[in-house]
Structure 1
Amino acid sequence: MAVNVTGKYFYWRGRLAIGLCVLSTSLLPLQLNADSYPSLSCTEAFDQSASTTAHEWLVSSVYAGHCFEFQARAVSIDTVGVRTLALSHRVRDGIRQQVVQQLDGPSVSVERRSIAGHLAWFPPSESGSASPAEAWADHVAGYYEISLEDKTRVAERDAVELRFSPIDNQRYHHAWWIDQATGILLKHVLSDTQGRVLETFQITQLQSPTAYSGDVPIPSDEKMLDQSWQVAWLPDGFVEQPLEPGQQSGQRVYSDGLAAVSVFVSPASQPALQEGLHQIGVSTAAVSLVDVGDQSWQLVGVGELPADLLQRIVQSVQFE
């Protein structure tokens, strides 16, 4: 489900199991500095026995995605086909090192390094006391009905199942299976608005997950990119995300907590991408060409949203 042409999907979630399968094929800079970020102690994040509600399991999954090191085998099934993967996740000096290797067909290995603790950003509650993980969970609950089933098994591990049903027709359905012992996401199923399964990602073997004993940084300054353009329309609940290390200068990223949309604006070159909608695995790409004065621009939106909504987002781009 990786995408070459536009980077497909920004990697913001603290959910390694999904994220390793949606990595951009372009590597982030290898020299990252986490010193300027405040830290979260991972030693405070591992009491999974205290998680009983959907909200608590959501928060636990965020911590697990940043505070566990592990090796795993996984399978990804979508319209492109079936792929088996080897996954690796480590934390070193506040930097997450993630590697996904495709085990079928040509040998493909992708590495990505990013600052640990870089989460999707959403405004905290009015009390201002919510942690970034709790603010994220609260935001998700505002746009999805979440149901919890606490007795299931995945990859021979006890798990809880969370189902996310959108409260409108502007997003897809999600289902998660979260490891009870660690909070690591073991399985994710994405379905369209008619309930048809678009993608299944599942860890089949989780090898000796180990709690990282150090600290991970949590970005506190929500820096947005300074662009000469903006998106004038978004589905309810989609919030622009802060700059992540390695993000392209002509890119903006928006998220509702589960779904994400990347919008790219660049001078049109020859040959430009063909206008219209393109299916890229489980994602849709909407391409539009516009003229502003003497300059032609190529607008590209990529995300896991219904195609008509993604096209509306791209067509709403306005230049200052």
Structure 2
Amino acid sequence: MNGGYLTRAVALFWVMSWLPAVCYADMTPQAAGLNWLHRIATAAHRLNYTGIFVYQHGSHVEASRITHLLDASGEYEKLEALDGTPREIIRSNNQVFCYLPGKNAVIVEKRRTVKPFPALLPKQLSDLSANYAVKLGGVERVAGYDCRVIFLSPRDHYRYAHTLWAEAHSGLLLKANMRDGKNRLVDQFAFTQVTIGGPIDKAIFNPKPAAGAQVWKLPAAVNDQPAAGGGEWAITGLPPGFIKVLDVMRRMPGKRQPVRHIAYSDGLVAVSVFIAPENKHANLRQGLSRQGVINIDSRMLARHQVTVLGEVPVATIEKIAGSIAYEP
């Protein structure tokens, strides 16, 4: 590496460090932060990238490889688990294939139930500032890239604090974590290596199930229907800022009858409510529990199993679960 190259590299670093201050000098801190959030939400869907990221919660750590492509025919994504049980998820626009090599099975669905890192932010961020104070931090290095740090501080105890690291040039999210009210780490995603831009072979996304693999096609959600018995369910104690974003009947694995799925969001995270007719032959879990970073409240109400879950504090789950009522 010659001196001329080093000189240009140092000069570019100082220019890139100075540019954001110029671009956002006339913005309020909240507006500048929201501008970066919009960049992050867009970059995950519009850029080509491939890399390995690590997910951590508590003592659990797992690595995954993600490859993303956008071309004239649409959006494609492949997510591969590098630890534990082999599994792959390939998305071709709205068609999702989940490969389970150990079970020689393929699950196909028409919807996307989970947003994988780095596409954690919703495309619509208009209500976010009502629930979080957004603030720009400094520039830090992640996976060899300079990143702008963005802090999202909750305005109450019903949500976690979030910190995001976005690549300074493209806006791609390279690291994200959540912390509770005592500043303890809830979970974290972070790229350890990533390539942004450049050509990606589209053949990577071609589904290749093993010969003889069992294929399960999950039905899409059916139209919303009134609750059994002609009554209706009411949720009256939503935490501030949470609004209904989904209300459908879904056919769930192991359930004979459709399950009502209601989802609420504060613009960043979501809480789901599942209401299923009572199954007297099933060993139903009751009370509070936890799976990874997901808090869960399950209870019997009006001969239905009601389950509330989400990546939110226990107080949020308890407030929603405690305000659910059946109105005959």
Q: TM-score, normalised by structure 1?
A: 0.67
Give the one of 301, 313, 324 matched to 1:290.
301
Residue number in structure 1 paired with 2:290:
279
Residue number in structure 1 paired with 2:272:
262
Deviation at 1:70? 2.0
Residue number in structure 2 paired with 1:252:
262
Deviation at 1:109? 2.1
State the secondary structure of the residue aligned to 2:182. coil
Residue number in structure 1 paired with 2:51:
72
Distance 1:87 1:234, change over 3 A: same
Greater helix share, structure number: 2
CA distance in 1, matches of 2:246, 2:150: 27
Distance 1:286 1:111, change over 3 A: farther
Give the one of 97, 103, 111 matched to 2:82.
103
Distance 1:209 1:319, change over 3 A: farther
Distance 1:112 1:302, change over 3 A: farther
Deviation at 1:211? 9.9
Deviation at 1:153? 1.5
Distance 1:97 1:288, change over 3 A: farther
Give the one of 179, 182, 186 matched to 1:194.
182
Encode CA deviations 1:57-90: one digit per residue, 9 max, x unaligned: 1111111122123221000110251101111223
Residue number in structure 2 paired with 1:207:
195
Kept in 2, the 8 Å contact 1:69–1:210? The answer is: yes
Q: Does 1:174 align with 2:162?
A: yes
Which residue type is aligned with residue 187 of structure 2? E
Residue number in structure 2 paired with 1:142:
130
State the secondary structure of the residue aligned to 2:48. strand
Runs of 5+ consecutive residues of structure 2 not aligned to the other structure: 1-18, 25-31, 96-110, 113-121, 201-222, 228-232, 253-258
CA distance in 2, matches of 1:62, 1:243: 24
Deviation at 1:112? 4.5
Distance 1:312 1:155, change over 3 A: same
CA distance in 1, matches of 2:248, 2:147: 31
Q: Does 1:306 align with 2:313?
A: yes
CA distance in 1, matches of 2:312, 2:76: 28
Residue number in structure 1 paired with 2:242:
238
Kept in 2, the 8 Å contact 1:114–1:245? The answer is: no
Which residue type is aligned with residue 252 of structure 1? I
Kept in 2, the 8 Å contact 1:86–1:103? The answer is: yes
Kept in 2, the 8 Å contact 1:67–1:211? The answer is: no
Distance 1:113 1:311, change over 3 A: farther
Residue number in structure 2 paired with 1:316:
323
CA distance in 2, matches of 1:236, 1:94: 40
Runs of 5+ consecutive residues of structure 1 not aligned to the other structure: 1-47, 120-131, 213-223
Deviation at 1:289? 0.9
Which structure's CA Rg is the greater one?
A: 2
Kept in 2, the 8 Å contact 1:51–1:57? The answer is: no
Judge which range, 164-173 or 236-245, deviates more. Answer: 236-245
CA distance in 2, matches of 1:70, 1:51: 26
Distance 1:312 1:161, change over 3 A: same
Distance 1:111 1:316, change over 3 A: farther
CA distance in 1, matches of 2:154, 2:188: 18
CA distance in 2, matches of 1:245, 1:99: 28
State the secondary structure of the residue aligned to 2:127. helix
Residue number in structure 2 paired with 1:22:
none
Judge which range, 265-274 or 106-115, deviates more. Answer: 106-115
CA distance in 2, matches of 1:55, 1:312: 29
The alignment-based identity, stated in percent, is: 26
CA distance in 2, matches of 1:96, 1:108: 21
State the secondary structure of the residue aligned to 1:174. strand
Kept in 1, the 8 Å contact 2:238–2:320? The answer is: yes
Kept in 2, the 8 Å contact 1:80–1:281? The answer is: no
CA distance in 1, matches of 2:77, 2:291: 23
CA distance in 2, matches of 1:318, 1:93: 48
Asked which structure has the greater RCO (Cα within 8 Å, sep 6+), the reply is 1
CA distance in 1, matches of 2:59, 2:299: 25
Which residue type is aligned with residue 305 of structure 2? Q
Q: TM-score, normalised by structure 2?
A: 0.65
